[in-house]
Amino acid sequence: MSTTRRELGALTLAQLQGVLVDLGQPAYRASQIREHAWQRGARSFQQMGTLPSSLRHQLGAELSFQSLEVTGETSTDRGLTVKLLLRGADGEEVEAVLIRHPGGATARPRNTVCVSSQVGCAIGCLFCATGQLGLRRNLTAAEIVDQVRIAGQIWSVTDWGSPTNVVFMGMGEPLHNYEAVVESIRLLQDWGLSPRHVVVSTSGLVPEIDRLAAEKLPIRLAISLHAADDPLRDQLVPLNRRYPLAQLKEAALRFSATTGRRVSLEYVLIAGVNDRPQDALALRRLAASMRAHVNLIPMNPIPNSELIAPPQRVCREFAVAVGPRASIRFSRGERATAACGQLRASMAALPRRTALAADAHRQLVGAELTTNSPTD
Ligand code: SF4
């Protein structure tokens, strides 16, 4: 028995086979374990009924089944959207959102998991509840994979099947936790979820965008834009002062050219801030120059902020002015998976998280991004 148990979610199939062989078991048991833990939604080794009882006990002694514990669950949109509060071994909590897209005449059903990559975030975007926390810590690759596995457990009691899509649009800036995020994408591929169905959202860490392109993963990139001119974006997304729009645009184009995957733009609409006709015109030009689709997300209110969404009429007029590349996300599930920073605000906040955010904001306000940036 190991002194420190390895996380099941962080093991590739080959590594799991190695663990089983070391335990004197046939390697094929690894595939059975994977099937229980992914397709069948087992919540412990004990629930893996096709395994011998002695092996289940051996596995429990050797491996940690899961790195996160579900401590809260809320459901909206008639059960199609589920928000989870998840606690790590150190007591820190993150959120994940599960969105069932029923599909239609032209689209297949999808089970999308919006995952967090960090506890809090160092970027400090003006409209974001997570940014108010500051950065508390990075998640491990196992903690990211386990958000998807837990989603599978919840969906396993429906006839909807396993997770099909993952979007990194929860808490945190994914490219600020680069190694763990890339490792988690590779692990998810090993568990059976194609990188083609993964979207990574970034506020604009240009060196990491180039690094990600070089990984040759066929993922999609989403840029949290929110303003199409530098003076405004400097205020909304402070990272823009380091990597202004011209640099960000070039990096996004390089990503597209290298991976062959399109880049999309996310734009949270904030009343009286970035919803003017000239903002729509600037966004239209930028999106056209990048051949990018634009997701417009009416601002979800956050604690300690007076920022609100424009009226629906203004949102629709803005979309028309941006042109056919733009679409608006109105439902809560759509908003959660349309822009990082909108997850926490888009769901009914659990009271103790709101209190924690407010408290953390008081303690951390004024902390500089440069303290935490991986690019320093
Ligand atoms: S919007 Fe995204 S990058 Fe900005 S502070 Fe929030 S989580 Fe971080």
Say if residues 245 and 232 touch (Cβ distance below 8 Å): no
Does 242 map to a domain? yes
Last-in-domain residue among 64, 90, 110: 64
CA distance 264 to 280: 16
Model confidence at 371, in pLDDT bands (50, 70, 90)?
very low
Summarize the chain as % helix, strand, coil (round to 5): 45, 20, 40
pLDDT at residue 76 greater than cutoff 70: yes
Question: Is 188 found in the same domain as 150?
Answer: yes
In CATH, what number is assigned to the domain containing residue 12? 1.10.150.530
176-193: per-residue pLDDT in tens? 999 999 999 999 999 999
> Is 250 noted as a catalytic residue in this protein?
no
Structure-token match 């417009």, residue found: 296
Model confidence at 44, in pLDDT bands (50, 70, 90)?
very high
Question: Is 151 found in the same domain as 84?
Answer: yes
Provide the number of structural domains found in the chain: 2
Question: Is 73 found in the same domain as 46?
Answer: no
Ligand 1 mutation target, pool 123, 178, 205, most atoms within 8 A of CB: 123
Please state whether the predicted TM-score (pTM) of the whole model is above 0.85.
yes
Question: Is 80 found in the same domain as 48?
Answer: no
Question: Is 205 found in the same domain as 192?
Answer: yes
- pLDDT value, residue 364: 25
CB-based pocket (< 6 A), ligand 1 = 121, 123-125, 128, 130-131, 172-173, 203, 224, 340-341
251-260: per-residue pLDDT in tens? 999 999 999 9
Question: Is 96 found in the same domain as 50?
Answer: no
- pLDDT value, residue 318: 98
DSSP state of 40: S
Question: Is 85 found in the same domain as 41?
Answer: no
Looking at the chain, the whole-number percentage of residues with pLDDT higher than 90 is: 77
> Is 340 noted as a catalytic residue in this protein?
yes
Catalytic residue among 93, 95, 143, 208: 95
Task: Give residues with Cβ within 8 angstroms of 138, minimum separation 6.
Answer: 117, 118, 119, 172, 176, 177, 180
**Would residue 41 be called left, alpha or beta, if left means φ above 0 and alpha means ψ between -120 and 50 degrees?**
left
Question: Is 103 found in the same domain as 29?
Answer: no
- pLDDT value, residue 302: 82
Does 153 map to a domain? yes
Question: Is 300 found in the same domain as 243?
Answer: yes
Task: Give residues with Cβ within 8 angstroms of 226, minimum separation 6.
Answer: 125, 127, 233, 236, 237, 266, 267, 268, 270, 274, 339
pLDDT at residue 18 greater than cutoff 60: yes
Higher model confidence: residue 77 or residue 99?
Answer: 99
Does 375 map to a domain? no
Give the range among 119-123, 175-179, 294-298, 353-357 with minimum mean pLDDT.
353-357
Question: Is 245 found in the same domain as 231?
Answer: yes
CA distances from 326 to 245, 315, 321 (A): 19, 11, 9
Residue nearest to atom 5 of ligand 1 (CA): 131
Residue nearest to atom 1 of ligand 1 (CA): 341
In CATH, what number is assigned to the domain containing residue 102? 3.20.20.70
Task: Give residues with Cβ within 8 angstroms of 264, minimum separation 6.
Answer: 199, 220, 221, 222, 223, 292, 293, 294, 295
- pLDDT value, residue 340: 58
Does 205 map to a domain? yes
- pLDDT value, residue 339: 55
Does 1 map to a domain? no
Does 214 map to a domain? yes
Does 374 map to a domain? no
Question: Is 15 found in the same domain as 128?
Answer: no
Question: Is 188 found in the same domain as 107?
Answer: yes
Say if residues 112 and 337 touch (Cβ distance below 8 Å): yes
Token pair for residue 352? Answer: 């103790």
Last-in-domain residue among 64, 90, 106: 64
Say if residues 117 and 181 touch (Cβ distance below 8 Å): yes
Does 373 map to a domain? no
3-state class of 322 per DSSP? helix
Last-in-domain residue among 64, 86, 113: 64
- pLDDT value, residue 374: 30
The boundaries of the domain holding residue 54 are 6-64
Model confidence at 357, in pLDDT bands (50, 70, 90)?
very low
- Tell me the sheet residues that pair with 224: 266
- Tell me the sheet residues that pair with 99: 81, 112
Could you give the maximum distance between any two Cα atoms of the chain, in Å? 68
